Amino acid sequence: METFVINFSLFLFLFWGLYILFFKKETFFHHNRVYLILTPILATVLPFILINQLNINQGNTFNWQEITPLLFTENIEEVNINAANTNSNIVDLSFKNVLIIVYFLGVAFMLFNFFRKLKLYHVLKNKAKSMQTAFGEVYVIQNSKAAFTFLNKIFIGDLLENEAQKEILQHEVVHKKQKHSFDLVYYEILKIIFWFHPSIYSLQNQIKLIHEYIADAKVSSRISKKKYYENLLNGFFGVKQISFTSQFFNHSLIKKRIIMLQKSKSNKTALLKYLMVIPLSLAMLTYVSCSQDEAITQPENNKQETSEVENIIKLEVEDVHNLSEDEQKVFASQLSKILSNNTPTQFVLFDDYEEKSITINEEARANLSSKKSQLNPETESVSSDELSFNVIDTPPLYIGCDPNLSKEEAKKCFSQKISEFVGSNFNIDLAKENGLTGVHRIYVQFKISKEGQITDVKSRSKHTFLGEEAERVIKNLPQMKPGENDGQKVGVLYSLPISFEIK
């Protein structure tokens, strides 16, 4: 959501800047109206469109390092941190939650303001006297010089001179027929949802001005422009402010309207300026596609390689970055099958949010076969000074574990002590402060050196700050007696999955 807000805000600002710099002074009023209506929609939709071909950061091959680190963990019980044990009575007022509260307070205020304007409109309508004219039904406001239109209702003050009423009514009829009020209501809704964006308010003012330009151009083509100027300049009177009505006498717009009436029509070649929307939109799409942290990876020469693929194997997982033990086994099994045959195959891992894929042809098969020992713990090459926890003769001895325990009991005690330490020291409030809910997993790998020190701590998590917190906790583990193999002290690799749930 944060990414959408940032992208929307940026895109709308750029569309606004394009209008102010290049389109605002042109006499293509209808084109400008369409532009002002469509660009907020484009700014809303574009952040959700991902086009892989526009991702200039794509690599030519699938980066297995995004999946293989910590992919296979030993047969170790997962550390489950109980969120209920944390201080749950503390009111969670993280910066993110404060922003959410402020946003909805702003929405509530804008909704209140919108309905206040509707009420003001209905009060004026109920007080006004309806009458039939050559221009249709008109509502006459008592003791007023107001003139405005809302939807299919035209309002005019009874203090206006009869001579000016005809031109004013012609002007308001244009607003009525062109459905200008719908544009203004549309912007009122945008203001409710995106009240925080200053460009919304500026664009609404611009579309009001366009409405007046359209009506002025229509009416001034039928009567003397000099007389029409006089009607505008004589409009020094008050009208209650209702921002979704089209008002004939709006003091702040009168000078601009007169200037535009005097302006010559823009040359048709200036219409080419509107083509600038296309490269700007493409630039926005490219930005979105390249800024996706977890964009789908495609190989180079996609069409050619796709045509070579005969098999597609898809594996649905909970998290493409943090596979469960069962998912790891299925992954290893499927990968082994793919590597054992010569058929070009596309292997796809996907979850609810993203997809990782690789086309395995002869070149990729040779490359992956060389890495097979990294992917399968059973074929892992064992060095003399560094072993995996599941193959060590004598596991490291954690403080508090009996040195006389059997191998399996010692491993169980070690794992239990590690889990207790992590469960007691992991700061789960970090997740709450960042507004996280649901189940979250972190995978940590570290080494107990020959001296019993904790080294080479690595982590993988969907949220960086959770990985950093897990690493902090692991680095604070106490020194322990190192593991041994064939009577020699060796470094021991240990992998630890951590999970917790915030409801």
Stronger pLDDT, 500 or 365, i.e. the higher one: 500
Asked if 82 and 321 count as a contact pair (C-beta separation under 8 A), the reply is no
Asked if 182 and 191 count as a contact pair (C-beta separation under 8 A), the reply is no
* Confidence check: pLDDT of 333 > 50: yes
Q: Write down the H helix ranges in 62-179.
A: 95-127, 162-178
Which pLDDT score is estimated for 499? 84
pLDDT in tens, 308-327: 445 677 777 776 666 666 67
* Confidence check: pLDDT of 376 > 50: no
* Confidence check: pLDDT of 250 > 60: no
Asked if 155 and 174 count as a contact pair (C-beta separation under 8 A), the reply is no
Which pLDDT score is estimated for 487? 85
Measured CA to CA in angstroms, residue 368 lies from 213, 317, 360, 422 at distances of: 67, 21, 9, 35
Mean pLDDT along residues 367-389 = 53
Which 3 state secondary structure label does DSSP give 301?
A: coil
Mean pLDDT along residues 203-211 = 94
Closest CA to 247 of 182, 156, 124, 130: 156
Residue 40 identity: P
Structure tokens at 429: 């409030």
Q: What span, in angstroms and rounded, lies between the C-alpha atoms of 254 and 183?
A: 20
pLDDT in tens, 87-106: 444 444 567 778 889 999 99
The radius of gyration computed from the CA coordinates of the chain, to the nearest angstrom, equals 34
Stronger pLDDT, 373 or 345, i.e. the higher one: 345
Q: What span, in angstroms and rounded, lies between the C-alpha atoms of 490 and 474?
A: 19
Place of tokens 């203001």: 191
* Confidence check: pLDDT of 291 > 70: no
Which pLDDT score is estimated for 75? 42
Helix axes 95-127, 180-193, angle to 10 degrees: 150
Q: What span, in angstroms and rounded, lies between the C-alpha atoms of 70 and 497?
A: 9
Residues 6+ apart with CB under 8 A from 290: 54, 55, 56, 57
Stronger pLDDT, 171 or 75, i.e. the higher one: 171
pLDDT in tens, 474-487: 999 999 999 988 88
Among 17-21, 105-109, 352-356, 437-441, the range scoring the smallest mean pLDDT is: 352-356
Place of tokens 């992954």: 331
pLDDT in tens, 355-365: 777 777 666 65
Q: What span, in angstroms and rounded, lies between the C-alpha atoms of 52 and 279?
A: 17
Q: Exposure of 20 by Cβ count < 10 A (0-12 exposed, 13-18 middle, 19+ buried)?
A: middle
Closest CA to 442 of 457, 420, 452: 457
If one counts every other C-beta atom within 10 angstroms of the C-beta of residue 333, the result is 11
If one counts every other C-beta atom within 10 angstroms of the C-beta of residue 251, the result is 12
Q: Quick one: DSSP state of residue 85?
A: G
By DSSP bridging, strand 147-150 and strand 129-133 are: unpaired
Asked if 435 and 94 count as a contact pair (C-beta separation under 8 A), the reply is yes
Which pLDDT score is estimated for 299? 36
For residues 76-88, one letter each, b for 16 or more C-beta atoms within 10 angstroms of the residue's C-beta and e for the rest, the string is beebebebeebee
Q: What structural domains and CATH numbers belong to the chain?
A: 302-379 (no CATH), 386-502 (3.30.1150)
- Whole-number average pLDDT of the chain: 78
* Confidence check: pLDDT of 232 > 90: no
Stronger pLDDT, 222 or 18, i.e. the higher one: 18
Q: What span, in angstroms and rounded, lies between the C-alpha atoms of 270 and 23?
A: 9
Q: What span, in angstroms and rounded, lies between the C-alpha atoms of 56 and 227?
A: 59
If one counts every other C-beta atom within 10 angstroms of the C-beta of residue 104, the result is 10
* Confidence check: pLDDT of 239 > 70: no
Q: What span, in angstroms and rounded, lies between the C-alpha atoms of 244 and 247?
A: 9
* C-alpha count within 13 angstroms, C-beta hemisphere, residue 304: 4
* Confidence check: pLDDT of 77 > 60: no
Which pLDDT score is estimated for 292? 58
Which pLDDT score is estimated for 251? 57
Asked if 193 and 107 count as a contact pair (C-beta separation under 8 A), the reply is yes
Which pLDDT score is estimated for 52? 58
Structure tokens at 249: 């006498």
Mean pLDDT along residues 371-378 = 44
Residues 6+ apart with CB under 8 A from 267: none
Considering 127-141, 246-260, 263-277, 370-384, the range whose residues carry the highest mean pLDDT is 263-277
Place of tokens 């904790």: 454
DSSP 380-410: ---BTTEEETTT-SB--B-TTS-TTS-HHHH
* pTM of the complete model: 0.55
Q: What span, in angstroms and rounded, lies between the C-alpha atoms of 340 and 332?
A: 12
Residues in the chain, total: 503
H or E, element range at 419: helix 407-425
Residues 6+ apart with CB under 8 A from 180: 149, 211, 214, 215, 246
